[in-house]
Amino acid sequence: MILDRRLYKNFDKGLFIAMLLLITVGIITIQSATQARGLPFGDSFVLRQLNSFAIGIILMLIVINVTYQKFIDMSYILYTINVILLLVVLMVGQARLGAQRWFSIGGFAFQPSEFIKLTLILTLASYAGSKKDTMYRLGSFMIPVLLLSMPFLLVLLQPDLGTALLLCPIFFAILIVGGVRMKYVAIMAALGLASLPFFWHFLREYQRQRLLVFINPNVDPLGAGYTIIQSKIAVGSGGLFGKGWLSGTQNQLNFLPERHTDFIFSVIGEEWGFLGSILLLLLFIFIIKKAFNIALCTNDMHGKLIAIGVGIMLSFQVIINISMTIGVMPVVGVPLPFVSYGGTSLMMNMVAIGLLLNISMRRSMF
């Protein structure tokens, strides 16, 4: 478990610092988004996020100290445990806002659907990396389809449409890089698109409303369309330089719901304006570019596929979250990585960065 000091020369300080900057932005914004509630610091969302950050640092240190090949070896075990937790949470999990996604233990809420993104990356990377010479066969393609289907359906049943859909680009990216024939990917993607009308009948009523108000928010301006209308007002009113920390009216006057979680970018847009939002995006671009560069510079196929999976996961989370806050995508409940309030999400993303650092430090060993 003790890291060879010679590996520290490959430690990517820029990636680590960029992650810390995003987490800092998140904590500052969470304070702004929740301070109107007047909670004592001991019960505040900021303290809870700091506690999750501390646990995340410990998990990162563990991940960095163990060669990523160990996680590849354990991937099927981790995947199985995660799928079991997804089953159990449907039966005994805690329900919030119409979704049954959480285990609550001693005041700490844990969301297994967050970690399925990472365990699926490891499992697909393990499979595709070990089958790299035969992935072009149809039989080799069907196993990953099964690996995707189980968590996809279980997460969809919670319901958590955003996380379920997020598993799909991760799946396709890893398999394409792993050597799957494009015609198989195209056929599966076409079947998925063709089945979308049938999924309408399985959606909850609030999910249908979200899709309808995406087309026209004014259909239900005081109901399902209220949040997205207020979000666009907040982002637009920030102007070029923003209104300043703790000075956003949509935020401080409680017009904007869920502003510390899914709609935290709206608070950033209102308080820090266009320039602040661009700086935030540049930090995300820097981290995502690092992930893809690590994939390009790694000779080991397992490491390459993990880095690709993490890069795609972070990319789509950022794209989906920001797009839904400015009204160019439906609201599907995807948090902004490192920034939105949520302990499980923060820890999962920090572990993902730990894996990238791990691969970068050992890229010359394989």
**Assigned token pair, 332:** 């599907």
* pLDDT at position 291 over 80: yes
What pLDDT is recorded for position 212? 72
Domains of the chain: which residue ranges?
5-361
Tell me what the mean pLDDT of segment 103-119 comes to. Answer: 82
The first and second tokens of residue 365, run together, are 């060993």
Maximum average pLDDT range among 130-144, 241-255, 291-305: 291-305
pLDDT at res. 41: 67
Top-confidence residue, 321 or 161: 321
Packed helices 161-178 and 138-156: angle between N→C axes, nearest 10 degrees:
170
pTM for this predicted structure: 0.91
Out of 145-159, 249-263, 281-295, pick the least confident.
249-263
Rounded-to-integer distance, Cα 89 and Cα 28, Å: 32
pLDDT of residue 366: 55
pLDDT bucket at 4, cuts 50 / 70 / 90: low
pLDDT at 54 over 60: yes
Please write the tens of the pLDDT for every residue from 189-220.
888 888 777 777 667 776 777 777 777 767 66
Which residue reads 């992930």 in tokens?
Answer: 291
- Buried/exposed 55-73: b ≥16 CB within 10 Å, e otherwise: ebeeebeebbeebbbebbe
Q: Looking at the predicted structure, is the pLDDT value of residue 1 above 50?
A: no
List phi, psi (to 5°) of 104.
Answer: -115, 115
pLDDT of residue 151: 94
Q: Which tokens go with 139?
A: 């039989």
Predicted local distance difference test score (pLDDT) of residue 319: 96
Question: What value does the mean pLDDT take over residues 50-72?
Answer: 94
Looking at the predicted structure, is the pLDDT value of residue 353 above 50? yes
Whether the pLDDT of residue 88 is over 60: the answer is: yes
Residue 258 has pLDDT above 90, yes or no: no
**How does pLDDT run across 263-288, given as a tens digit for each residue?**
999 999 999 999 999 999 999 999 99
Task: Tell me which residue of 305, 280, 283 sits closest to 292, measured CA to CA.
Answer: 305
Q: What is the pLDDT of residue 136?
A: 76
Q: Where are the alpha helices (DSSP H) in the chain?
A: 13-34, 45-65, 68-73, 75-92, 112-130, 138-156, 161-178, 182-194, 196-199, 205-215, 226-237, 249-252, 264-297, 301-325, 343-361
- Of the chain, the percentage scoring pLDDT greater than 70 comes to 90
What's the pLDDT at 306? 97
What mean pLDDT is predicted for residues 11-30?
95
DSSP string, 10-57: G--HHHHHHHHHHHHHHHHHHHHHHGGG---GGG-HHHHHHHHHHHHH
pLDDT at position 298 over 70: yes
Phi-psi label, residue 102: left if phi above 0, alpha if psi -120 to 50, beta otherwise: beta
Say how many C-beta atoms besides its own lie within 10 A of residue 245's C-beta: 14
Contact 277, 268 (CB under 8 A): yes
Res 153 pLDDT > 80:
yes
Categorize the per-residue pLDDT at 3 as very low, low, confident or very high, splitting at 50, 70 and 90.
Answer: low
Q: What is the mean pLDDT of the chain?
A: 87
Write down the pLDDT at residue 135.
Answer: 80
Average pLDDT over residues 322-328: 91
**216 or 84, which is more confident?**
84
